[in-house]
């Protein structure tokens, strides 16, 4: 073969070799890129594993840590003489721990097992099973890490039976549970009020719910002092929820304290495995000391028991409520200790006597003749002489309408002192129609009529006599006229008030004209006795009168009790100088007409002056139905040895 031919034959071989070299180069480059990427991934993985280990561990831990809210122990309520009215006690509850009773991998079997265990214990102790399978499922959904309370307030004997029957079943234990206790039962129930767990139906409603994985609620006040002093007055926080920083109260606490918390570790199902951090203890609630005296309260309640009545006693020098009784009443121990028992509460609601109704503060009654001392002050302010005589013939005709006096045959000639002593209507109506509404309204306004007293508990304002009030209470009513003024002068017509309001102005008649804000609470103290709140006597107004005129009215009130013909002579107490005024007012119409009867009084004993108001629904008269009750109270409270 010639050299030229050989060169032609070898040329293609050289071209193929070049192509192979290029492909190898590309493969090497691609392999290098892939290797670089893998190397970068390895470096990143090492960084994550080594450099970010702490953060990863923290993140994982956070997913398994739960915060459990620990409610604070509620404060106590005492009387002024330190008789315990409302306290707390640790009861023994039988509880199930779901994490120890769970059937692995089968939720339905877990629910069935818990339910059957509850049935077993129920038969052993002779109590109905309070759990349904729906209750168990709800607990596993919302609070799987918390023990499930099955039976509350068990006796040691019941616990022994329960454990004997279920000794081979894991997850059953006993835990203490705080409940409200009322050592005196029904005493001062309307003042104390009652509590319930906060947000019992839906804990998700609590404002601090998001701070906790498992939420154990506080007990909150529903009525009475339990509600009014759930927190100290003047705090700006909401009624049922507390400071968002648990354990560090920024404002003084009332009966309800500040919750604490504990951190626990849970598994993937939310079951508690072990504690991570020691629990942060709650700040327990403070104690409320009432102004009432336990002995006075017991006497007051016993005196009016069995009637629809109210009795209020005040310290006339500062407005402290020494006793406040309303009848019928109810027993806090019977249905309000742990939960509000529905059967007992429904029974109270359906009772015709309305035992939940605080007649002393919320009762809205026509006063009748107990208003006459105030009306008499208006006469004196208007220039009527206390010695001016009016001849009572048993009736007075005003605008063509006859208004009778209690003495149908008439009292004969009377001055102001005699008119008050015998509760003469003719005397009051004649002077009232002469001076008109304005002077009377001025005195009534200064006495607090138609205005809330400012006591710490719910109360009514009553009805102030005016043309506007008349139109509100009587449809198509004509404007205020002389007949209305005549009725008002004897405590009838367009005017209502509460027994508390009557006691407040009675205290003013006794103390020289000062209308004090009444107080049920004396102090709030912490567990060390440090005073966090203390009531201060507060004069809200003064009776529109003079000391001389007050003396004239008081002379008449003395004769009411201490003369043979006085309308309140049944209120006389040997050894006491009692001043008083009877009253009665017809309410309703026809067969539903009843008499609301009254007696207001005051007495000074060993340098202290007490004002009292007694009201009885359906009584026969103020002198017969109420005056003896006031006499019995003062005799037993002031003269009998404790």
Which positions ≥6 away from 400 have C-beta within 8 Å? none
CA 122/CA 128 separation, integer angstroms: 6
Are 112 and 254 part of one and the same domain? yes
Torsion of CA 158, 164, 165, 167, to 10 degrees: 130
Does 344 map to a domain?
Answer: no
pLDDT on residue 239: 40
Of 263, 286, 309, the residue at which a domain comes to its end is: 286
Question: Which of the residues in the chain have pLDDT under 50?
Answer: 8, 11, 13-14, 56-57, 59-62, 236-251
pLDDT on residue 6: 52
Taking Cα atoms as reference points, which of 284, 277, 287 lies closest to residue 259? 284
Are 468 and 495 part of one and the same domain? yes
pLDDT digits (tens, 9 = 90+) for 364-382: 999 999 999 999 999 999 9
> The domain that contains 322 carries what CATH number?
3.40.710.10
Are 312 and 422 part of one and the same domain? yes
Does 171 map to a domain?
Answer: yes
Of 246, 270, 286, the residue at which a domain comes to its end is: 286
Does 351 map to a domain?
Answer: no
Are 252 and 310 part of one and the same domain? no
Instruction: Output phi, psi for 177, to 5 deg.
Output: -140, 130
Are 236 and 206 part of one and the same domain? yes
The residue written with tokens 């336990």 in the block is: 294
**CA atoms within a 13 Å half-sphere pointing along the CA-CB vector of 554:** 20
Does 617 map to a domain?
Answer: yes
pLDDT digits (tens, 9 = 90+) for 138-179: 888 877 767 788 887 777 788 788 877 777 788 887 776 677
Are 10 and 108 part of one and the same domain? no
Does 491 map to a domain?
Answer: yes
CA 138/CA 147 separation, integer angstroms: 13
Does 60 map to a domain?
Answer: no
CA dist 227 to 74, 77, 79, 332, 441, Å? 12, 12, 17, 15, 35
Domain around 73? 65-286
> The domain that contains 197 carries what CATH number?
3.90.1310.10
pLDDT on residue 272: 53
pLDDT on residue 39: 78
**Number of helices and strands in the chain (H, E):** 21, 23
pLDDT on residue 336: 83
Of 265, 286, 307, the residue at which a domain comes to its end is: 286
Are 82 and 115 part of one and the same domain? yes
Does 591 map to a domain?
Answer: yes
Are 171 and 141 part of one and the same domain? yes
pLDDT digits (tens, 9 = 90+) for 538-581: 999 999 999 999 999 999 999 999 999 999 999 999 999 999 99
Are 220 and 319 part of one and the same domain? no
Are 572 and 596 part of one and the same domain? yes
pLDDT digits (tens, 9 = 90+) for 210-252: 777 666 677 888 999 999 999 876 554 434 343 333 333 444 5
Are 439 and 549 part of one and the same domain? yes
CA 262/CA 247 separation, integer angstroms: 11
- Contact in structure between 538 and 516 (CB atoms under 8 Å): yes
Are 462 and 550 part of one and the same domain? yes
Q: How many domains does the chain have?
A: 3
Does 347 map to a domain?
Answer: no
pLDDT on residue 205: 64
């Amino acid at each position: 073969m010639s050299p030229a031919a050989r060169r032609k034959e070898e040329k293609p071989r050289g071209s193929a070799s070049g192509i192979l070299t290029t492909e190898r180069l590309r493969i090497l480059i691609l392999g290098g890129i892939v290797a670089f990427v893998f190397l970068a991934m390895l470096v990143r993985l090492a960084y994550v594993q080594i450099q970010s280990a702490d953060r990863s561990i923290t993140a994982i831990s956070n997913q398994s840590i739960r915060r459990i809210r620990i409610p604070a122990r509620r404060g106590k309520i005492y009387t002024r003489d330190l008789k315990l009215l409302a306290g707390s006690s640790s009861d023994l509850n039988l509880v199930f721990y779901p994490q120890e009773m769970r059937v692995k991998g089968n939720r339905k079997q877990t629910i069935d097992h818990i339910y059957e265990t509850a049935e077993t214990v129920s038969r052993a102790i002779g109590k109905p099973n309070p759990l349904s399978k729906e209750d168990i499922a709800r607990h596993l959904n919302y609070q799987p890490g918390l023990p499930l309370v099955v039976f509350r307030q068990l006796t040691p004997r019941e616990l022994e039976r329960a454990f004997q029957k279920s000794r081979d079943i894991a997850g059953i234990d006993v835990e203490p549970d705080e409940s409200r206790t009322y050592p005196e039962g029904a005493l001062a129930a309307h003042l104390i009020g009652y509590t319930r767990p906060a947000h019992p139906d839906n804990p998700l409603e609590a404002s601090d719910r998001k701070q906790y994985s498992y939420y154990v609620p506080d007990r909150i006040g529903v009525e009475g002092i339990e509600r009014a002093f759930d927190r100290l007055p003047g705090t700006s926080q909401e009624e049922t929820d507390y400071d968002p920083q648990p354990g560090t109260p920024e404002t003084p606490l009332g009966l309800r304290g500040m919750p604490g918390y504990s951190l626990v570790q849970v598994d993937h199902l939310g079951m508690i495995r072990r504690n991570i951090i020691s629990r942060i203890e709650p700040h327990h609630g403070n104690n409320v000391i009432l102004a009432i005296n336990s002995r006075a309260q017991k006497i007051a309640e016993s005196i009016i028991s069995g009637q629809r009545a109210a009795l209020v006693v005040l310290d006339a020098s500062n407005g402290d409520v020494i006793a406040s009784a309303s009848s019928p009443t109810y027993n806090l121990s019977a249905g309000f200790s742990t939960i509000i028992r529905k059967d007992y509460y429904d029974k109270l609601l359906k009772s015709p006597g309305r035992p939940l109704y605080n007649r002393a503060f919320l009762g809205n009654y026509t006063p009748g003749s107990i208003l006459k001392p105030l009306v008499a002050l208006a006469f004196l302010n208007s220039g009527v002489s206390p010695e001016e005589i009016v001849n009572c013939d048993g009736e007075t005709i005003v605008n063509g309408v006859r208004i009778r006096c209690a003495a149908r045959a008439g009292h004969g000639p009377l001055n102001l002192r005699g008119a008050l002593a015998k509760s003469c209507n003719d005397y009051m109506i004649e002077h009232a129609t002469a001076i008109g509404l304005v002077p009377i309204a001025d005195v009534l306004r200064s006495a607090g009529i138609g205005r809330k007293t400012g006591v710490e508990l719910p109360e009514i304002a009553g009805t102030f006599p005016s043309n506007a009030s008349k139109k509100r209470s009587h449809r198509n009513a004509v404007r205020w006229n002389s007949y209305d003024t005549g009725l008002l002068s004897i405590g009838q017509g367009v005017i209502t008030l509460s027994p508390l309001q009557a006691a407040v102005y009675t205290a003013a008649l006794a103390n020289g004209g000062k209308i004090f804000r009444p107080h049920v609470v004396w102090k709030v103290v912490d567990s060390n006795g440090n005073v966090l709140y203390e009531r201060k006597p507060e004069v809200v107004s003064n009776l529109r009168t003079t000391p001389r005129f007050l003396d004239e009215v008081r002379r008449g009130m003395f004769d009411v009790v201490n003369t043979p013909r006085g309308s309140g002579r049944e209120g006389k107490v040997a050894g006491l100088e009692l001043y008083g005024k009877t009253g009665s007012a017809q309410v309703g119409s026809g067969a539903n007409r009843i008499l609301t009867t009254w007696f207001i009084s005051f007495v000074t004993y060993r340098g202290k002056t007490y004002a009292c108001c007694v009201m009885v629904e359906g009584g026969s008269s103020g002198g017969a139905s109420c005056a003896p009750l006031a006499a019995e109270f003062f005799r037993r409270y002031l003269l009998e040895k404790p």
